Amino acid sequence: VGARLIAHAGSLTNLAKYPASTIQILGAEKALFRALKTKGNTPKYGLIYHSSHIGKASAQNKGRISRYLANKCAIASRIDCFSDIPTAIFGDHLKQQVSDRLKFFDSGELPAKNVDVMQIALQEAEVEREQIISKERKRKKKEKKRRKQALAAAALDEEQNNANMLDATA
């Protein structure tokens, strides 16, 4: 569903610029304009309807879960688009929030607050970010060492070639 949303929006950056209400009905423009023209009911979902989360929802909750899923898609697209280091942590937490909301509609079990979940995700993402930066530093250091060794080997070969040429001319 995410790939279809990105394709319909044109790019991830364009999708990140859309509000959640637009993401919710993305792909249902024809039905939207028909409803606006005839002053009828506007569509509740477009491409998002094909999500497995909406398929799991009961008929009376499909519109609610569609709106909630569109909100989480908007947040995820903005995080993916504007973050320096890509990570799946936020997406996993947002997906879990949608699943928890489905449970809430079915059983009445209250889900965790978004603020609390995002704080946990931020902490996990920061730890992962530090690990990635550390690995990148080590990789650059190894690359620099390899280049230095290659230059030293090339200089040594050059010296040997010059010495051999001097011996050959003498």
Residues 25/46, Cβ–Cβ less than 8 Å: yes
**pLDDT greater than 90 at residue 18:** yes
Q: What digits encode the pLDDT tens for the residues 45-88?
A: 888 888 888 888 898 999 899 999 999 999 999 999 998 888 89
Residue with tokens 């309807």: 49
Tokens read off for 130: 């530090």
Q: Which residue has the higher pLDDT, 153 or 89?
A: 89
What CA–CA distance (Å, rounded) separates 141 from 126? 22
- Residues sharing a CB contact under 8 Å with residue 58, sequence separation 6 or more, in sequence order: 105, 106
What CA–CA distance (Å, rounded) separates 10 from 166? 66
Give residue 170's pLDDT band: very low, low, confident or very high (50, 70, 90).
low
Residues 24/45, Cβ–Cβ less than 8 Å: yes
Residues 79/90, Cβ–Cβ less than 8 Å: yes
Q: pLDDT value at position 108?
A: 87
| C-alpha distance from residue 46 to each of 41, 81, 88, 143, 151 (Å) | 14, 22, 25, 49, 59
Give residue 15's pLDDT band: very low, low, confident or very high (50, 70, 90).
very high
- Percent of the chain whose pLDDT exceeds 70: 99
Model pTM? 0.75
What CA–CA distance (Å, rounded) separates 109 from 95? 17
Q: pLDDT value at position 93?
A: 95
What CA–CA distance (Å, rounded) separates 38 from 106? 35
